[in-house]
Amino acid sequence: MERLARIIAHVDMDAFYAAIEVRDHPRYRGFPVVVGAPPSARGVVAAASYEARRYGIRSAMPSREARARCPQAIFLPVDMEKYRAVSAQLFEILETFTPRIEPLSIDEAFLDLTGCPVPGGGARQEASRADGPGAAEDPGLAIGRAIKARIRAALDLPASIGVAPNKFLAKLASELAKPDGLRRIGPEEVQEVLDPLPVTFLWGVGEETRRRLGSMGITTIGALRRAPTSVLRASLGFAAEHLAALSRGIDDRPVEAGARAKSVGREVTFAHDTRDPEILRRTLASLAEEVARGLRGQGLRGQTVTLKVRYGDFRTVTRRATLDAPTDTGQDLYRAAEWMWSRIPERGRAIRLLGVSASRLGRSAQLDLFGGGRRDRADRVMDAINTRFGDGAVRPGRLADAEDPDRSHPAAGVGQGAGSASAVRRR
């Protein structure tokens, strides 16, 4: 029996927070809108409207810098509760198209549309079975168009949707379609689309890899594809196979549907391998804090803490510790991570990546006889302030030395794909 070619969609809302604010305050339409910390405070931009982006304003940029770039920009505080509610509506809409949804963040998801009925396409037409005579439109594209229309009609918000045979290409397609676009990358045009793009479009290519490839004269995906894998392997180790496959548009990762988060994790790849204990300690502290916020944001607590360390030669070690009770505080996660860290031999070696994650998740809170509750409340107050004024407005003392969390680990790969610095979802 013939296996159906997969149809994967990547749905990504455009400037989500800013778009919601503009929708709810029509007088701001057409103006540069920045959602995040006020420019007078320390703190960063959470989202910028496309008008604001024209001035070079990006999310995670300090609000002060955003103001300097565009003094007339409208600064609005983050209203996380509202955005979460809109996100819930968005996912309800997506679920009417397919049950196979893998949420990536509050406003972004992969959908597996393989075999799904095309809305208004009649009973005969289903995804991936439409290329007979008389087929009107590619079924993936038709469903993508319907999703986009539904989002527009129900939420009055712009979305960009990419449709392709796999996750990597779908995400690339939505990126190329932005803003407010719809784009399909079909099997026949993969090479034509990929070849001219810079290598940084590939999932997993950060600054360091880009530099290594550049030194071999490889700057585009096309050049990478034509380079012999043996040459790549010499320079990149076993990341070479992965990149070689992606450069050909090959990506077998399934859409991990309905899988409730089994773990919440953050990891960071350093721009340059480091052995500086102070940087490593601070990075651990800020990873622990980010994981804790991720947990609290979803109302979850984790009882098992995993530390991941990757050395410069890509050798990776992981350590696991189980706490007495599930936690959602950065302090507990940091204590466990630091403890495991202090017991890893070879700590003197240069480190490429650090990761912290929490698993064995649950929603209940085992109370502490000895009054761990105060810590709890402090975290919640901190979240409230950070939500109100933007990430990093307040941070625990452990992080006080870290001038700026982004600076202590500059290559935090927030950009491409499901790579580093995004919530880890594993089996």
Partner 1 sequence: MRIHCVQHQLLRGVQTVARAISPRASMPILGNVLLEASEDRVKLAATDLELGIESYVEATVAEDGAVTLPARILTDIVSNLPEGDVEIRVPEGESRATITCEKVRFEVLGLPAADFPVLPSSDGDVLVRLDAGLLRTMIRQTSFAVSTDETRPFLTGVYLVLEGETGQLVATDGGRLALRRAKIPSPEGGKITAIVPGKTMSELVRALGGVEGEVTIASHENQVLFALPGMRFISRLIAGQFPNYEQVIPKEYKQRIRVGTERLLRAVRRASITARDSANVVRLSASDGTLTITSNTPDVGTAEEQVGVEVEGDAVPVAFNAKFLMDALGNIDAAEVFFDLTGPLSPGALRPVEHPDYVYVLAPVRVYG
**Residue 89 binding partner 1, by CB under 8 A:** no
Q: Is 47 exposed, middle or buried (0-12, 13-18, 19+ CB in 10 A)?
A: buried
Total of chain residues touching partner 1, rule CB under 8 A: 23
Q: Is the dihedral of CA 285, 291, 294, 295 positive or negative?
A: negative
Among 40, 229, 318, 322, binds partner 1 (CB under 8 A): 322
Cβ 340 to partner 1, closest distance in Å?
9
- Concerning whether 175 is annotated as a catalytic residue, the answer is no
Report the alpha-carbon distance of residue 327 to residue 291 in Å, rounded: 11
Catalytic residue among 108, 175, 267, 290: 108
Choice between 160 and 359, CB closer to partner 1: 359
Helix, strand, or coil (residue 401) = coil
Bridge partner list, 265: 357
Choice between 131 and 324, CB closer to partner 1: 324
Q: Can you tell me which residue has the tokens 């992606």?
A: 246
Among 92, 152, 339, 380, binds partner 1 (CB under 8 A): 339
Q: What is the DSSP string of 338-358?
A: HHHHHT-S-TTS-EEEEEEEE
Among 303, 306, 329, 420, binds partner 1 (CB under 8 A): 303
**Residue 297 binding partner 1, by CB under 8 A:** no
Among 155, 176, 321, 394, binds partner 1 (CB under 8 A): 321
State both tokens at 251.
């990506």
**Residue 2 binding partner 1, by CB under 8 A:** no
Choice between 123 and 369, CB closer to partner 1: 369
Cβ 285 to partner 1, closest distance in Å?
15
Binders in 356-385 for partner 1, by CB under 8 A: 360-370, 372
Bridge partner list, 308: 318, 355
Choice between 334 and 389, CB closer to partner 1: 334
Report the alpha-carbon distance of residue 306 to residue 314 in Å, rounded: 18
Closest by Cα among 136, 137, 140, 178 to 160: 178
Binders in 21-40 for partner 1, by CB under 8 A: none
**Residue 324 binding partner 1, by CB under 8 A:** yes
| Alpha carbon distances (Å) from 23 to 130, 134, 158, 223, 411 | 37, 40, 10, 43, 34
Choice between 132 and 299, CB closer to partner 1: 299
Choice between 230 and 364, CB closer to partner 1: 364
User: How many C-beta neighbours within 10 Å does residue 377 have?
Assistant: 9
Pairing state of beta strands 182-184 and 159-164? Answer: parallel
Among 129, 150, 242, 335, binds partner 1 (CB under 8 A): 335
Cβ 189 to partner 1, closest distance in Å?
42
The answer to whether 48 and 397 have CB atoms below 8 angstroms apart is: no
| Alpha carbon distances (Å) from 256 to 107, 111, 357 | 17, 9, 19
**Residue 325 binding partner 1, by CB under 8 A:** yes
Cβ 324 to partner 1, closest distance in Å?
4
Cβ 345 to partner 1, closest distance in Å?
11
Among 336, 353, 354, 356, binds partner 1 (CB under 8 A): 336
Among 204, 294, 326, 330, binds partner 1 (CB under 8 A): 326
Q: Is 81 exposed, middle or buried (0-12, 13-18, 19+ CB in 10 A)?
A: exposed
Where does this chain bind partner 1 (CB under 8 A)? 299, 303, 321-326, 335-336, 339, 360-370, 372
Catalytic residue annotation = 108
